[in-house]
Structure 1
């Protein structure tokens, strides 16, 4: 595993970062040729698919071993894309590996693992539908002869434009607000009932396929499109979301290290007021605070991943790690911008792009406030209280 970290570090430094700098950290609208070329190079370097099962051409790493490798890949915005460990494909591959039937794995997981296709995960809905509270799910699926008919509206569906298929969450029993009754469906992109309505403009621009609004209008799918068991969708979502939150943390922590390295290098070279910037007390405080945030974030990720590797739900550990890391990454990048002054907000450095990319992480995968609410509830339950 140490060798894979070192090879990934070299690959990102020598191959990926020059491409990232060429594009200013923004994934081009026609990203497939770029993705294919980076993934070809990753295969040649032996760093492709660190998380993927060995039988699908990956390295089969568990959660704890993924952490340093994903951080090494995340050192560039384009690194996770290159090694086929970017969201949402990485989380979807994990879900399919654990839940899909053999036939579904052959049709959906195999091409996803090889990098032949992209995918998306369609759960989030506009208000008052599913968002921070998945139980608010309003998209419905009803049985029809030979299968199901899905009707609903999704938004902020990452990577939807150009995805070969969606994993769509729809309510099959109960009403919005009920904690059960959801089912996952595999919906092919060519289905006439599924339409990518628009790209939602956002401050982050580092994801192929953007963040999209997707309409399911009388979308008919066969019975074998059900992923897992009917009405068990919320349980499967937890199978995906806990590990996916941690891999998000790993990738963004890698980018925070990059921002910190840029800032410390500049502080060591920049001279003003008769001394190097790095010798001035206020600059030293920012550097030290970044080091502390980096170390603390890494420790929380390590703890949560250990619990996941033990087969534990790890709900509290992943919520704590996600909340802290999302906020720490923002602080680290923001301090890096401040240390670099005017250069930090210019396009001469990529720090301003990183700042825009990491800010939404405090909202994506559950806002910090929602996680804090859940963390507190679990703490009170642990001592026998009610909340």
Structure 2
């Protein structure tokens, strides 16, 4: 099915729209693509079917990969011939504290690397051809320096998928292991110690992409809810005439309409190359909460039918709940955004009531 959808996307000129033209993509600027990302997100297969799924990896490798990496992997990635995944989180290490990364990479005399360690909740690892792994290349546990990113071919000796990790019953996440995996010298991304900067850049774009797709998923749940309310009746008449149903519709629409501008504000800043950390943090928390709220209302309006296999609502609700932890839990973003804003107030002594206070 997916192969057929990809063929149709290519034939219609819709393949890889946000990816560079010189690599076989459509060259659409991120701000223009953002509108389409919502529509892609509403589908179970949108990004994969339309070739936009590797946007994060293509962007990272194009900016930080060496000539050999760019030549070997970028065009096959855009064409959909190979797949990648990203491994950062580890068992027993809080994802909010990457400086405690236990995976190690030792540099050999010939410049190549040997990677040893374990990662988990790595999306799509079982079908990936390449995995970008964060590893400590120098320093001690907890040091803020010495973390690097290496691109590891999954066919390498010593790499293995340990197990699948269902998330609230959904598949696609994996625990993986590196047992002295040999990595070519030119598969280091950037320079040794560059991982925090590269990962931060990737996460900023990745979180915003997730928010856009969550908007699309929430719109899908909202549409299902409204169709149910308009098309079904109970013993007291049409569902759409019941005030409690109307309250669900209003609150869900309010959540959608107030979250969308936050997400697109982050999109605009990223597109223009500006610091969007505060805006991305706000958008990520708001969009995750909004998806869970809207889907919960849709399930409530459907009743028992909303819990069963005949609608996508259980899967959408599961996504909404997981969204509050993926790419950093709500608490991380709340704390980091608040601290950033308060630091700015401390530097400028602007009264909190000032309407022209600086952005965080």
TM-score, normalised to structure 2, is 0.92
Aligned to 2:237: 275
Q: Partners of 1:142 and 1:130 in 2: how far apart?
A: 23
3-state SS of paired residue (1:229): coil
What is the alpha-carbon root mean square deviation over aligned residues? 1.5
Residue of structure 2 aligned with 1:379, choices 341, 344, 347: 341
Residue of structure 1 aligned with 2:12, choices 39, 45, 49: 45
Q: Tell me, which stretches of 5 or more residues in structure 2 are unaligned?
A: 348-360
Residue of structure 2 aligned with 1:198, choices 160, 163, 170: 163
For the pair 1:180 / 2:129, whether they are aligned, the reply is no
Residue of structure 2 aligned with 1:132, choices 96, 105, 130: 96
Q: Tell me, which stretches of 5 or more residues in structure 1 are unaligned?
A: 1-33
Q: Partners of 1:193 and 1:90 in 2: how far apart?
A: 28
Aligned residues: 346
For the pair 1:142 / 2:106, whether they are aligned, the reply is yes
Higher mean C-alpha displacement, 321-330 vs 43-52 = 43-52
Q: Partners of 1:69 and 1:91 in 2: how far apart?
A: 16
Cα deviation code 1:140-167 (max 9, x no counterpart): 1111122111111111111100200111
Counterpart contact for 1:205–1:357, Cα < 8 Å: no
Q: Report deviation, 1:256.
A: 1.0
Aligned to 1:313: 275
3-state SS of paired residue (1:173): coil
Q: Partners of 1:204 and 1:43 in 2: how far apart?
A: 33
Higher mean C-alpha displacement, 268-277 vs 152-161 = 268-277
Q: Report deviation, 1:130.
A: 5.3
Residue of structure 2 aligned with 1:119, choices 74, 77, 84: 84
Aligned to 1:361: 323
Q: Partners of 1:237 and 1:374 in 2: how far apart?
A: 16
Aligned to 2:355: none
For the pair 1:63 / 2:25, whether they are aligned, the reply is no
Counterpart contact for 1:154–1:214, Cα < 8 Å: yes
Q: Report deviation, 1:90.
A: 2.9
Counterpart contact for 1:167–1:186, Cα < 8 Å: yes
Aligned to 1:105: 70
Cα deviation code 1:108-134 (max 9, x no counterpart): 22111111111110111111x351222
Aligned to 2:356: none
Cα deviation code 1:289-332 (max 9, x no counterpart): 11111112210111001111121121111011011101111111
CA distance 1:204–1:74, change in 2 (3 Å): farther
Residue of structure 1 aligned with 2:213, choices 251, 262, 282: 251
Counterpart contact for 2:218–2:291, Cα < 8 Å: yes
Q: Partners of 1:252 and 1:91 in 2: how far apart?
A: 17
Q: Report deviation, 1:371.
A: 0.8
Q: Partners of 2:27 and 2:69 in 1: how far apart?
A: 20
